[in-house]
Amino acid sequence: MIYREAGDFKTTYSADNQTFPIRFDRMGYYAVLIFAAVVIPFLINDYWANSLLIPFLIYAIAAIGLNILTGYCGQVSLGTGGFMAVGAFTSYKLMTAFPGLDMISITLLSGVSTALVGVAFGLPSLRIKGFYLAVATLAAQFFLVWLFNKVGWFYNYSASGQISAPSRDFFYFIPFEVTGPTATAPAKYLFCLLFVFVLAWVARNLTRGSVGRQWMAIRDMDIAAEIIGVSPLRAKLTAFAVSSFYVGISGALLFTVYLGAVEVGASYGIQKSFLVLFMIIIGGLGSIFGSFAGAAFMVLLPVILKVLLVDGLGFDTALSAHFQFVIVGALIMFFLIVEPHGLARLWALAKEKLRLWPFPH
Amino acid sequence: MPDQLIFAMEVTFNGLLNGVMYALVALGFVLIFKASGIFNYAQGVMALFAAMTLVGIQEGRVPFAHLINAMFGTHVHEFGWEVPALLAILLTVLVMVAFAYLVQRFVFRHLVGQEPIILFMATIGLAYFLEGVSDLMWGSEIRNLDVGLPQGINDWIDSTTFEALGYGFFIDNLDIAAAVIAAILVMSLIAYSQYTKNGRAMRAVADDHQAALSVGISLNYVWILVWSLAGMVALVAGVMWGSKSGVQFSLSLIALKALPVLMLGGFTSIPGAIVGGLIIGVGEALFEFAVGPLIGGATENWFAYVLALVFLVFRPQGLFGEKIIERV
């Protein structure tokens, strides 16, 4: 009975166009934000941070990035893992070359360098379409991973080929350590949350503005879009740039904040590309909320399966890993058949129903 | 002749034979794509699944043994019999046909008319699903596959080239067998699609779904047929790669090798798959031989993709693909 537009009068055009037009939604959104920023940091411990919250936040950024490219602009990319590696290695080189630099600048610069690489690999998209392009982005995936594996300069010639993150501060006048072995869980969590909040907000506003409408025009029918005056060059390359910027930041955070030490083939291989792609399929193509839902789902699934199968039924871990493959694969097919727009559409339908409840006619 | 040239010749030969292997996988892709417009990412996993099933049946393993043991606390692993290779192959073909039916019935029948990219992502889901099923059924250990194909260095080529050039070429018998089998497979596939009723139906569906439907061809039947054929091609590819390097998870990654082959040859052309496979096979072998040592080696991971990418920029439909015509 409280989920209503009735009585909530909009007097300006911008108020009518806001992201959460219903007051209840708006309040819920603020409540979640305040809870995430103020309450969770006091409750969080290492287990919660490392197994759920931090990976969820980091993958949510990657999912938003890929969703911009695939969901909004219609260019399927299987090179996400490679672009995440660009972000990670840029942040590593910056951290080791400039010890005084703070983490916010490092992470943003990692995003910028990934955006440049993304634009370079996005150039073929002007000629190649559909799954020819999807396969072409695999070139980026394999080439970048090989590059970071073979060229010693990228990993500072360390013997194992691994890179590991030294301790660095949040911002230059905020001396909180967010990377390295001594960083605390709340600091890491807040650092990721800040990026997620800002990037999601930017993404939401980009996608409903002029740029976003150009992307969607290209997605729906590129030739028609060109005829009505959308420049495919501009639209596709901006999509690649923005998407790679997000993916690069996510890759950098995954390395610096979450994992701490990575080996490029194991952490940024093709499996990662598929993982992020699955997130946006399950969550919902062309939806910012869907990116969050999908990331949460794919991060939660292995944890739930472990609790159910290994702890509950006493299966060994190998068997439960096999089950995970079966379940993820089946879910992907299930979602594509039943609801190609993913969890986000289900959520929207539920809200639609709720608005009319209890008098649906 | 200078040594370098002789080595390059040997590398080229081996590259050609490797290319045949890539082409074998690419063939399965082309078959399904032509008939149903589905770009089947799961082809590589199908090869893994087929080879695993073949080994499992041959050695008389109990399917889902791990699962049964975990659920009921039993300790069953093997039936204790061995099945001859030919019978095992027949049984595996039956399994692949059943798989084709299930895939068509439960997945792609519900996705008819969806955008190609949605279908592609569904096959990625299928690949994950099948990989999990394959592990659950037969376990994830490396298995040796032996169906009686010749293996080891070919002595005749070794001795003839040694007499002629003073250096014996190392060519594996298995690669030669694979090339012969691939040639037979391609010829019989072409004959099947040209001269049989079912083959004609397949071509009709590939040409135009609705026209085919209106003259009374059952789309469902043709699609099951095509998936079964792709399953059999996957079995052949799985047997070849499995005999070469053991049946294991990495077998499913050959799909990733076949993708650039397809891009180069065009998604809709059987000759394109063969020629693309050969170009990629030779190209990556020669590149690794000539440039690899200078830049750190292991270039075969990405060379094929970059080659295909550069090529596509100039000819977006591939070598033999149909011209892409777009209308608003």
| pLDDT grade for B181, boundaries at 50, 70 and 90 | confident
**Inter-chain contact A340–B298, Cβ cutoff 8 Å?**
no
Closest to A69 in 3D by CA, of A119, A108, A142, A140:
A119
- Confirm whether pTM is higher than 0.90: no
| Distance between first and last Cα of chain A | 15
**Inter-chain contact B124–A316, Cβ cutoff 8 Å?**
no
Range(s) of the domain holding residue A61? 20-356
Could you please report the per-residue DSSP string of B60-112?
TBPTTHHHHHHHH-----B-S----HHHHHHHHHHHHHHHHHHHHHHTGGGGT
Could you please report the per-residue DSSP string of B227-288?
HHHHHHHHHHHHHHHHHHH-BSGGGGGHHHHHHHHHHHH-TT-HHHHHHHHHHHHHHHHHHH
Closest-approach residue (CA) in chain A for B314:
A127
Closest-approach residue (CA) in chain B for A129:
B316
Report the alpha-carbon distance of residue A279 to residue A158 in Å, rounded.
34
User: Contact B233/B24 with Cβ under 8 angstroms?
Assistant: yes
Domain ranges across chain B: 3-314
| pLDDT grade for B1, boundaries at 50, 70 and 90 | low
Q: Looking at mean pLDDT, say which of A41-50, A246-255, B210-219, B229-238 comes out highest.
A: A246-255
Among residues of chain A, what percentage have pLDDT more than 90? 42
**Inter-chain contact B263–A326, Cβ cutoff 8 Å?**
no
State residue A118's pLDDT score. Answer: 95
Closest-approach residue (CA) in chain A for B125:
A329
More confident residue, A292 or B144: A292
Question: In this structure, are strands A174-177 and A169-171 parallel, antiparallel, or unpaired?
Answer: antiparallel
State residue B34's pLDDT score. Answer: 80
A330: distance to nearest CA of chain B, Å?
6
Which pLDDT tens digit goes with each residue over B26-40?
888 888 888 777 888
Average pLDDT on A213-226 reads 92
Q: ipTM beyond 0.90?
A: no
More confident residue, A118 or B268: A118
| B120 contacts chain A (CB < 8 A) | yes
Cβ contacts of A322 on chain B, cutoff 8 Å: 132, 135-136, 140
**Which of A124, A328, A332 lies nearest to residue B312, judging by beta carbons?**
A124
Model confidence at A174: pLDDT above 80? no
Which pLDDT tens digit goes with each residue over B33-84?
887 778 888 888 999 999 999 988 888 887 887 777 777 777 777 777 788 8
Backbone φ and ψ for B321, nearest 5 degrees, come out as -70, 160
**Which of B118, B135, B298 lies nearest to residue A336, judging by beta carbons?**
B118
B310: distance to nearest CA of chain A, Å?
9
Cβ contacts of A327 on chain B, cutoff 8 Å: 132
Model confidence at B204: pLDDT above 90? no
Which pLDDT tens digit goes with each residue over B286-323?
888 888 777 777 777 788 888 888 888 787 777 777 77
Cis, bond preceding A340 (omega within 30 deg of 0): no
The per-residue pLDDT of chain B, averaged, comes to: 83
Average pLDDT on A128-134 reads 79
**Inter-chain contact A131–B117, Cβ cutoff 8 Å?**
yes
Report the alpha-carbon distance of residue B241 to residue B17 in Å, rounded.
12
| B286 contacts chain A (CB < 8 A) | no
The mean-pLDDT minimum among A202-206, A232-236, A320-324 falls in A320-324
Which pLDDT tens digit goes with each residue over A252-309?
999 999 998 888 888 899 889 999 998 998 898 889 999 999 999 999 988 888 888 8
Model confidence at A215: pLDDT above 90? yes
Encoded tokens for B86: 């030919």
Contact pairs from chain A to chain B, CB under 8 Å: 142
Mutate to test the interface with B, among A132, A144, A148, A228 (most CBs of B within 10 A): A132
Report the alpha-carbon distance of residue A217 to residue A353 in Å, rounded.
29
The mean-pLDDT minimum among A4-8, A225-229, B188-192 falls in A4-8
**Which of B135, B302, B306 lies nearest to residue A322, judging by beta carbons?**
B135
**Inter-chain contact B132–A323, Cβ cutoff 8 Å?**
yes
- Looking up residue A158, the CATH number of its domain turns out to be 1.10.3470
The per-residue pLDDT of chain A, averaged, comes to: 88
Closest to B42 in 3D by CA, of B132, B115, B111, B106:
B132
Average pLDDT on A130-149 reads 86
| B110 contacts chain A (CB < 8 A) | yes
Q: Label residues A229-259 b or e (16+ Cβ within 10 Å = b).
A: ebebeebbbbbbbbbbbbbbbbbbbbbbbbb
Average pLDDT on B106-112 reads 87
**Inter-chain contact A331–B125, Cβ cutoff 8 Å?**
yes
State residue B300's pLDDT score. Answer: 76
Model confidence at A1: pLDDT above 70? no
| B262 contacts chain A (CB < 8 A) | yes
Report the alpha-carbon distance of residue A312 to residue A18 in Å, rounded.
45
Task: Mark residue A278 as left, alpha or beta (left: phi above 0; alpha: psi -120 to 50; beta: remaining).
Answer: alpha
| B162 contacts chain A (CB < 8 A) | no
Q: Which residues contact A50 (CB under 8 A, 6 or more apart)?
A: A185, A258
CB atoms within 10 A of CB A316: 12
Query: How many domains in chain A?
Result: 1
**Which of A143, A328, A340 lies nearest to residue B302, judging by beta carbons?**
A143
Report the alpha-carbon distance of residue B31 to residue B100 in Å, rounded.
13
Average pLDDT on B163-185 reads 80
Closest-approach residue (CA) in chain B for A132:
B263
| B311 contacts chain A (CB < 8 A) | no
| B167 contacts chain A (CB < 8 A) | no
**Is the Cα torsion angle A30, A52, A65, B37 positive or negative in sign?**
negative
Report the alpha-carbon distance of residue A150 to residue A11 in Å, rounded.
61
Which pLDDT tens digit goes with each residue over A24-77?
888 889 999 999 998 988 888 888 888 899 999 999 999 999 999 999 998 989
Encoded tokens for B279: 């170009």
Mutate to test the interface with A, among B128, B141, B294 (most CBs of A within 10 A): B128
Average pLDDT on B110-137 reads 86
Cβ contacts of B324 on chain A, cutoff 8 Å: 129
Residue that has been written with the tokens 């990629």 in this structure:
B280
Average pLDDT on B182-193 reads 86
B265: distance to nearest CA of chain A, Å?
12
State residue A116's pLDDT score. Answer: 96
Model confidence at B262: pLDDT above 80? yes
State residue B102's pLDDT score. Answer: 93
Q: How far is CA B212 from CA B143, B209, B216, in A?
A: 44, 5, 7
Q: How far is CA A267 from CA A100, A162, A262, B175, in A?
A: 27, 11, 6, 34
Average pLDDT on B5-27 reads 84
